[in-house]
Amino acid sequence: MARNVLIFAEAKSGQIRNVALEALAVGRRLAADGQVVAVVAGSSRPDGVEALSEHGADRILCVEDAALEPYTSDAYTDGLYQVVQAVQPDAVIMGHTAIGRELAPRLAHRLEAGLVADCTDLAVDGERVVFTRPIYAGKAYERREVTGGIVCATIRPNNFAPLPADATRTVAPEPFPVQLSAPRVKVESVTSKQLSGVDLTEAKVVVSGGRGVKSAEGFEPLRELADVLGGAVGASRGACDAGYCDYALQIGQTGKVVTPEVYIACGISGAIQHLAGMSNSKCIVAVNTDPEAPIFQVADYGIVGDLFEVVPRLTEAFKRMRG
């Protein structure tokens, strides 16, 4: 069944995010022979818009308005709602990012549409679209479908592979003027808490430290390993509470949710609240002195040992492998 699908192509720091390309891949699966329309929004056009056509967009709409910078849910809901009214899509997909988590329910409410949030898989069977999403902090999965009206969904980053880039697909971005209502909220300032170059929620490799790192300096070997692997550093709440690192790094139920290719947990016991944020990682490696630590129950590879000996050896080994 052909569907028209609208993708909200989120940008961060003036760059289209990878999750936007993942959303396009989902959009193409849903659309079949229908149209996939990507919408970008901001005070100016972000870099990398051409990647949207190379990765599957049939149309690219650019909503540019000074009121869209910095992000406010009011302005974005308003702008996206107007795009939906014009495009009349059968489905709206966006990333389950900090922005997507806030924007999607507001938009779905305005559209009186059903929303399935934080999807990690989907099955398309004729008219039916069944999404899979983790529940109970990742302990179980449920399947959900929207049975009427526009299908709205957010997708968890790093779970759907973007389509291979096709440089022959070139779609000229179209301006899409909107009339935004007067803002009810004014953002005075935005302080970025991202502490490394690689976005934690989109990183392919995450090296995380727990209370076992013992100090702020204890994170240094983890940063070196993450740098060699082109990854990001994360942390347990234990490490954040102890003041070893910023809460921006916290992974878990009350922190960020990550699904990297490789998650390396160093000195983390593996409390259920931590697992809620990382147990969907493709490969989990645990380094812990305690062979009984619960983290080993979810780990694909376990190293029983002192992280201050093991992590530098891993870093050296990867450095040698990478020449």
Residues within the interface to ligand FAD (CB under 6 A):
210-212, 236-239, 250-255, 267-269, 271, 273-274, 277, 287-290, 293, 306-308
Please report which helix (H) or strand (E) contains residue 25, including its range.
helix 18-31
Q: Which is closer to ligand FAD, CB of 166 or CB of 301?
A: 301
Helices (H), 98-197: 98-111
Q: Which is closer to ligand FAD, CB of 137 or CB of 171?
A: 137
Q: Which is closer to ligand FAD, CB of 157 or CB of 255?
A: 255
Q: Which is closer to ligand FAD, CB of 37 or CB of 240?
A: 240
What count of other Cβ atoms lies within 10 Å of the Cβ of residue 302?
A: 18
Q: What share of the chain is helix, strand, coil (3-state, %, to 5)?
A: 30, 25, 40
CB of 288 to ligand FAD, least distance (A): 4
Q: Which is closer to ligand FAD, CB of 5 or CB of 235?
A: 235
Q: Which two tokens stand for residue 156?
A: 């968890």
Q: Which is closer to ligand FAD, CB of 62 or CB of 293?
A: 293
Q: Which is closer to ligand FAD, CB of 18 or CB of 97?
A: 97
CB of 306 to ligand FAD, least distance (A): 4
Q: Which is closer to ligand FAD, CB of 116 or CB of 284?
A: 284
CB of 314 to ligand FAD, least distance (A): 13
- For residues 161 and 21, give the distance between their C-alpha atoms in angstroms, rounded to a whole number: 8
Q: Which is closer to ligand FAD, CB of 173 or CB of 294?
A: 294
Q: Which two tokens stand for residue 171?
A: 């779609």
Phi-psi region of 44 (alpha: psi -120 to 50; beta: other; left: phi over 0): beta
Give the number of C-alpha atoms closer than 13 A to the C-alpha of residue 74, restricted to the C-beta side: 10
What is the per-residue burial (b if ≥16 Cβ within 10 Å, else e) of 195-211? Answer: ebebbbbbbebbbbbbb
CB of 197 to ligand FAD, least distance (A): 23
CB of 56 to ligand FAD, least distance (A): 34
Q: What is the largest CA-CA distance in the chain?
A: 60
CB of 266 to ligand FAD, least distance (A): 6
CB of 250 to ligand FAD, least distance (A): 6
What count of other Cβ atoms lies within 10 Å of the Cβ of residue 32?
A: 11
CB of 269 to ligand FAD, least distance (A): 3
CB of 275 to ligand FAD, least distance (A): 9
Three-class DSSP category at 40: strand
Cα 43 to chain centroid distance, Å, stands at 22
Residues with Cβ < 8 Å from 186, sequence gap 6 or more? none
Which residue carries 């922190």 as its tokens?
255
Q: Which two tokens stand for residue 174?
A: 């179209």
Which residue carries 């809620």 as its tokens?
276
- For residues 65 and 241, give the distance between their C-alpha atoms in angstroms, rounded to a whole number: 40
